[in-house]
Structure 1
């Protein structure tokens, strides 16, 4: 399913946007992260910092999150709850697909849902001045020159301790949760990219054990400035 999705999106946007016009799209920043890294916090602070640096007269940068879910649901003619399973990294079983198709006249296949989500992410990224956290954004927007793709990483043990403290759960529970989320996020990225992503898919990789959130925001902002995003 992943290769079909990627090929569909590539073909759709290859003909819609000529290569010579790609440079007019964006600017957009995507942030991928290991589970337990403070991507949402950093994204919010980064949007605020860039907006403040640019000054008045410019449209504020936005962090995109729930807008993707809501817009995809609207495009599909479904309630957000019907497609939320994708954002929770869940999959429908074959039995679930069959039962849903029989019981609902508004049935949409998992492939159709993920394809629509990909289209929404692509459209939002093209419009620009947004920061997209996760959702396979780097794979879907990698061809836009006016972009920056960041990945936040940290050692496994460091993340487990942070998850345990943040969620007030035991070390073993945090370890299990971290392993599960790492696997689910890797699968979602594979669904959109059609292959495992590696370091070469990102412009900047930052270790959250070595840099605190404030440092990370400053480094991302500097990289975005160097890339000419603002």
Structure 2
């Protein structure tokens, strides 16, 4: 019973890879939409605004924003505690970096290739795709740095960093699956924590369990 976190750049095929890895390994795929449902049900309707917008100076010290981020972390921890999940985005690589049964993966690709993929998938012109990806990168980096105090550009917190400009999505899936199976069989050297040991509010735990089992 373990967890895979996937941090990905827009246009890197990271979400697709995460879905296929989950399907092939018999794990549950968890993305922003699933997490947002839980957040909204607990009254955190500002989740999308917090995650999808770069905060100004004063918003970084907003009490409601801090509460939203804290509940996001608790939600992520509850999902991980359930086990057998692939969590895409939301800074999972940093939240669970000290756990011995969590594989942290970063999927990236050259900017030009990401732009071409956006143009192809969403029918954008090049200038529109470039602007969309640049803005998305800035917002995600701001959230990780300002709210979670993480650096997705550092290799230190990742077990695998895969460039889909070099490695095909199929190869990436195979590498991730192999690494995950090895981690489950052998554990992580020096790790002392397991996701099953995470202490979570019982009400949230039961609610998340019910939602995961309904997927």
Where on the TM-score scale, by shorter chain, does this alignment land: which range? 0.7 to 0.9
Aligned match of 1:46:
21
Q: In 2, Cα distance between the equivalents of 1:64 and 1:169?
A: 27
TM-score (ref. length: structure 2)? 0.77
Q: In 1, Cα distance between the equivalents of 2:96 and 2:164?
A: 24
- What are structure 2's unaligned runs of at least 5 residues? 187-215
Aligned ranges for residues 1-230 of structure 1 at < 5 Å? 27-51=2-26, 61-65=27-31, 66-75=33-42, 77-78=43-44, 80=45, 82-91=46-55, 109-197=64-152, 198-228=154-184
Task: State the Cα distance separating 1:73 from its structure 2 match.
Answer: 2.4
1:150-193 alpha-carbon deviations (Å, 9 max, x no partner): 00011111111111222111111111111111111111221354
Q: Structure 1 residues 199 and 93, CA, compared in 2 at 3 Å: closer, same or farther? A: closer
TM-score (ref. length: structure 1)? 0.72
> Which portions of structure 1, spanning 4 or more consecutive aligned residues, are displaced by more than 4 angstroms?
92-95
Task: State the Cα distance separating 1:229 from its structure 2 match.
Answer: 6.4
Q: Aligned to 2:171, what secondary structure does the other structure show?
A: helix
Q: In 1, Cα distance between the equivalents of 2:185 and 2:141?
A: 28
Task: State the Cα distance separating 1:93 from its structure 2 match.
Answer: 8.1
CA RMSD of aligned residues (A): 2.4
